[in-house]
Structure 1
Amino acid sequence: MTAQRFTLDSQRTVTRGALTLLAGALIASPTLADEPEPQTLDRLWSFSNVSVNYLDWSNGTERRTASNAAKSDFTYVELEGGVGFSWGEFYGFFDFENPTNDQFDESSNGQDNFRTAGKVTSHIYLGDTPFSVYAHIYDFRDYGFNSREQDQILGFGYRATFDNGFWFKPFIGPARVQSDGYTGMNGYMAGWVAGYDFTAFGQGFGITNWHEQTFDRDSDYLEQNYVNGTAGSTGTNGAVGLWWHPADLITTGIQYRYSDNKLGAPNVYQNAMIYTVKLNFL
């Protein structure tokens, strides 16, 4: 594989995207625990990290998608962060997939192109209730094929935390998409992020799940944004992860990644394992 050679315009595009998606998430620092009544801009919690990840698609997925948005294993570097205030919270990540490859990878016929993916989510709390206004932007770009899709969600969320270490944050809202083949409203998305933090054998562990269910998607989108076929109106996307925190600086984890009627492949179930090592800044 050759070193990545971007044009100046591509470098600026990627850099601006990364900075926009992570603004406010990676600059956070913890609030003093003994401060009884946080002011508007005081941070209640925050985290940020950089990680190296390897995504290994199952043999069945590679076989099922061979002619429909073919999948290939890849490495990606991720910047991730989050911050919470008394009035709301924000989360974001930005991924550099196949970071050492050219924009179009000749040896894989484009399967291992350099790509980027990023997401920002926010909950703006509705007073002292557990409900929130929820916003969500996800942006994916494949530079070798000059393709892009951005999903935009604006709706309502809910947050629940428990003393035993479990937390659960569901959401639902109408969806809008901007892509090469279709731009406009695209049904609805419902989902959640959830986790459980616990201690075992004197070590810190965590279990997480993110899940997205899209439904009632537009027929034009389904025809134009999938390869060799039209997808069904409902799509599933998510991952379940197990995390180990051997030290404050280090987190390692393994995730089961799942998807159906998503990722460019119509009416196909896709699954993979993701292996991760994170370096924690906060």
Structure 2
Amino acid sequence: MKNFKMLAIAGAAAAAMTAGTAQAEQYYGFMTASVNYLDWTEKTIDRTTTVDQGGQGLGGTKKDFLFLELEGGAGYDWGDVYGFIDIENPGNINKSQNERKEGDKVVEERGVAVPSSFRIAAKGSIAYNIGKTNWNAYGHIYSFTEARGDFHGGFFDQNVVLGVSYDINTDSGFWMKPFIGLHYENQRFAGAGFNGYMAGWVLGYNFKLGNQNFMVSNWHETEFAREDQFRSNGTPHKLDKMGQNGAVALWWNATKKFTAGVQYRYADQKLGTAAYHDAVIFTAKYNF
């Protein structure tokens, strides 16, 4: 229940923050709903498949999956907010323990997420301007929840980062927000505590080809000085003290209401896998 409590706290904070922006000047805002399909590469599937099934067994077995996403953000004269919620494997929401495959049961016993399970991932971030500078007081919370067997005994992981960020805006269409902060983690099998630091960025570049609007974007996170407490991944292998996580995307804004995109998703010593792994995500968005 800790994970749901943290989401509730984050939701309440977001609601209070939204109420407080009633008198603030808003510079921009967006909200989208999307359908996404994540396709892991063959080398990733090989690296995460269990040894007894012919793979390398370097992490929790990974399978391609569909997910639905709601995403939004806004910028004000005091700072900006952003958030998303993903519903992964939505077709398996009512899948019971008796309907699970033997392979899933084996994965469960290793203490890692089951690849075909119903899952919810959510993130919220806030950057509050420090005076009239481009520096911000920055914080984000990410929560991943997996349901197993009628929602009992699932895996959960929350990550809270508190630090600073910096706004970079240009007239050329390029923008970037790097950040760095302390990293606090709460995970089902590892417990809770400070887990080193996290640094990263989000960036984008808007451009035109002919009369069509495009954007290249990238989000990236580097975790470093991670504690031994959080480096186990349910296999004999241990995650390094540093891990990488992110995605590079190309977006085609076909109309004001429709956006199509393809993303290269990458991670190294993250997502429960003690190796580099990657995927391609195909996305169709509706822009409100």
Task: State how far apart, in whole Å, the 2-side matches of 1:249 and 1:204 are.
Answer: 13
Assess if the C-alpha contact under 8 Å between 2:10 and 2:124 holds in 1: no
User: Following the alignment from structure 1 to structure 2, what is the Cα–Cα distance between the partners of residues 219 and 19?
Assistant: 28
Coordinate RMSD, CA, aligned:
2.5
Cα offsets for 1:99-137 (capped at 9, x unmatched): 011266624624210001011111101011010001010
> Shift of the alpha carbon at 1:255?
0.3
Residue 22 to residue 272, structure 1, CA distance change in 2 (3 Å):
farther
Contact residue 21 and residue 119 of structure 1 kept, 8 A: no
Please name the residue that 1:91 is paired with.
82
CA distance in 1: counterparts of 2:196 and 2:174, whole angstroms: 30
Taking the aligned partners of 1:272 and 1:149, their CA distance within structure 2 comes to 21
* Structure 2 gap ranges (5+): 51-58, 105-113
Question: How does the TM-score come out when normalised to structure 2?
Answer: 0.83
Answer whether contact 1:22 1:93 (CA < 8 A) is retained: no
Q: Which runs of 4+ in 1 moved over 3 A?
A: 16-19, 21-24, 225-228
Helix, strand or coil at the partner of 1:63: helix
Aligned to 1:219: 228
The CA distance in 2 between the partners of 1:17 and 1:140, in whole Å, is 14
Q: What is aligned with 1:254?
A: 262
Cα distance in 1 for partners of 2:139, 2:33 equals 24
Could you tell me the percent identity over the aligned residues?
40
Q: SS of 2:91's equivalent?
A: coil
Moved more, 145-154 or 162-171: 145-154
Which letter maps to 1:54? Y
Q: Residue 176 of structure 1 is aligned with which of 177, 184, 198?
A: 184
Distance 1:39 1:111, change over 3 A: closer
3-state DSSP of counterpart to 1:136: strand
**Equivalent position of 1:187 in the other structure:** 196
* 1-structure distance, mates of 2:77, 2:199: 25
- After superposition, residues 42-191 of structure 1 pair within 5 angstroms as 42-67=25-50, 68-101=59-92, 102=95, 106-107=100-101, 109=104, 110-144=114-148, 146-180=154-188, 181-191=190-200
Partner of 1:271: 278
The 1:192/1:173 distance shift into structure 2, 3 A limit, reads same
| Equivalent position SS for 1:163 | coil
Residues 1:203 and 1:197: Cα distance change in structure 2 (over 3 Å): same
Alignment: residue pair count: 257
CA contact (8 A) 1:22 1:92 kept: no
Q: Counterparts of 1:277 and 1:21 in 2: how far apart (Å)? A: 30
Instruction: Give the Cα–Cα distance (whole angstroms) in 2 for the partners of residues 270 and 22 of structure 1.
Output: 34
Q: TM-score with structure 1 length normalisation? A: 0.85
How far apart are 1:22 and its partner, in Å?
10
Residue 176 of structure 1 aligns with an amino acid whose one-letter code is: Y
Q: Aligned partners of 1:276 and 1:56: how far apart in 2? A: 11
